Amino acid sequence: MRKKYLTLILTFLLLLPALVVNAEQMQKGLRIKDVFEKYGKKKNVVMVELSKEFIETYEMSFYKSIVIKNDPEALEYVRNCLKNDQKGARKIKEITDDGGVISAFYQLASQKDEDNKFVLFKVNKKMVITLVYIEGDLESDDLITVLFSGKDL
């Protein structure tokens, strides 16, 4: 029994670097990654990262979201990151008000062999900022269907 337990631990330790590298590859080169790192553990923030097992039924390989409440500095930071990351992206939807983006849905540029990458952003009148990053084999129409079908992710 002890030998099986030791083998299981050693196997896990050998696979751990591969799992960490894979997670680090997500959002590689994107500024919005900094939003999750900078604000993810602060007060008045909710960050969610769903496991691959949970999201694979939606043809997604990665899902991460963050909700930041009443932080004007964070809003400016998120908008700057979005401005940088949207270069070369397909704007599926973008709404601006008073010169700033208040709602956006972008499909980011990706290499031929990579999953599609999507960024969704919204800030409401109560200054609640929502930022979602998704990677997967799905198309933008598929994502819209999932988002508006009433199914919870």
pLDDT tens digit string along 93-116? 999 998 899 999 999 987 777 889
Average pLDDT, the chain: 81
Q: CA 130, CA 66: separation in Å to the nearest integer?
A: 6
The answer, yes or no, to whether residue 10 has pLDDT greater than 70, is no
Structure confidence at residue 12 (pLDDT): 41
pLDDT band at 150 (very low <50, low <70, confident <90, very high): low
Tell me the whole-structure pTM to 2 decimals.
Answer: 0.78
- φ/ψ of 52, rounded to 5, equals -60, -35
pLDDT above 90: percentage of residues in the chain: 52
Structure confidence at residue 89 (pLDDT): 92
Q: CA 73, CA 64: separation in Å to the nearest integer?
A: 21
The answer, yes or no, to whether residue 13 has pLDDT greater than 60, is no
Structure confidence at residue 145 (pLDDT): 75
Q: CA 121, CA 78: separation in Å to the nearest integer?
A: 9
pLDDT tens digit string along 42-68? 999 999 999 888 888 888 899 999 999
More confident residue, 129 or 142: 129
What 3-state class would DSSP assign to 112? coil
